Structure 1
């Protein structure tokens, strides 16, 4: 019995109770959300995980992505990055290695943390085909499903699987063209394989088999966004929308069969198109949990793309996006290091909080901070800060002569002056 079927049958499971308690909502609210496909809880029969609810009416979640590349294979660093992401408050982790021993790396990463871990099994299948046969085009359909099952057995909780790339999608892509090319590695792998072999995408043509495989291992299906825009000028184009149409239909089909489903969204989106994209995604997928990759709202800030993403992510969350994939400062430039991961998580956590102030109407923490500031209560300010240690470190590094104020204003602190004259407290 899957958690979806339990929910449809009116059963409130322990997972639902745990998520409800952490979110401050009624367990029945979580059950109804799962039954309707609006909420998912990644779990696994192979490992205990820190349970995390993703979806409508819940706190916006943040994913951190790590993984080796063909240039840098340092397993110890990936484990350190995974631990840093969990320590900084990431809600989930995606392990996306493309270099080294895939299963060994993923097992070590999974064993090092308690977060739900996601993957893209398609990477393993295509890269192993290249190692064995010299090209990605020689991957077999069996290779693809075997990689999926192997990774599921390691305790992978959710998988990005590119179900929406089919011949119609590719026709739209070729007919319309792209300013920024095809930035999705999964999209590039699968479309090249399809064109060379003159075959349909097996993740689409054998979708029922895929669903049964994922259900057997209790893996959440995250419907990959292989046609996402890699440039703001390509946002919301025909190929992206065609893929969304297919993924929306397949998402309903998977949920009807008892599988938990997330739908992934576009990557580079100008700020005036974000609300349109989120609402379109939600409307077309019957309000399935929406996983936004970024979004990046401009293409001209390499080295600071975590800031670019925070702008887009805040707005995305505020209008209904449920799940944010962080972006690090190294995006478009290099494989992230531990410091990049920490910065990426911290920045996206701020964006998620900003979005939830609107999405959930949760502003109590901000109100508490405002009152603490007005009263110059520094310990209270640290308590209400998203990163108390960092806030304390900055103030202590430039300690004021008067402990009640700070070195920004010194003797001429506006709050202190007013507090000595009259009381504005509400």
Structure 2
């Protein structure tokens, strides 16, 4: 007898069959309509005032047709677009820092379109380069302060520095007693506390030496012959660095000073002269002669001709003495061959001025003596090509300014005084001046200036 299938089983089989018919074969998809591809180009970073190019030429149509282009700005400081309906548009970046956003819309003849965006980051313009920069070694503050100015009158009062190289972690500054500037824009600082010479690159760009910056050069070790407190001078014409050590009474000479030498490097030559004793100040004359200010009880100025070539036990070409010299700290010769010799507190805080310095040899009286009213202990002087004097007073945390110092005599008030908590001055012992209005520094010719 044949088996019978229940009506319930038949109904379940029919349901499964119908379900397969309904869902087992999906309908044909709607054909996808191709669209163009918009490409607004990569994001960019530019400087303020730059001409900027927006390039959408990498955009493609869907089927090889023609595209129309429309550039529009979505965000940022408004700019004027040149050729906004071309693949490539241009504009001038704003003069201030901002982020600009642009959209590119490409459209085919069929009306189909596509869009893409790109960003342009505009960096702030670099600070203007001042006509002059005065770099100051602050012996009590373990810092170097730099003051940019266009006229000396700006260095008056409680004026903050444009840059302050300072910090306990990275700078390695330790009782800085001298500062100079080499041919490749490196600031070289002598540190009596270590003792060492540290170098900081790109020093004309003052933000590069602002804050706790790492040096890119550290000259330190027994071979360097650096022992105690020192003054420095830099001969830009011959690329020679002179370092006078007041503890050993020698002048260490490093040739090719702009080369990135570092470490335990021995001096190229050593000037060991009986005419050098407790050297406190070094400066160079226009013909490469080295003026050495001898302090303590010696109180003289020794002059070495062709100093860049000297080596060993040599005598000074000239030795300048004066009954006015006492507690001598510095000697400076200007472009007019006028010699300025600084007496510290023990010598009345006065500037002894001698004309025709190239002829001086022996004992002379100054042509003028300027006593700085209000000074506590003078230590250094710079006189620029226009006759403006900058005089450091570490014990008063001040730098005094005089216009045409060569024309002054007697007790004289400074024309300007840079002093106050905002200045960052903390024992300003020595200085270095770069003056582009005359293309000169206080150490022969200036480095190449942009």
- TM-score when scaled to structure 2? 0.27
User: Which structure has the greater CA radius of gyration?
Assistant: 2
Task: Give the TM-score of the pair, scaled to structure 1.
Answer: 0.28
The structure carrying a bigger helix percent of its residues is 1
Structure number with the bigger relative contact order (C-alpha 8 A, sep ≥ 6) is 1
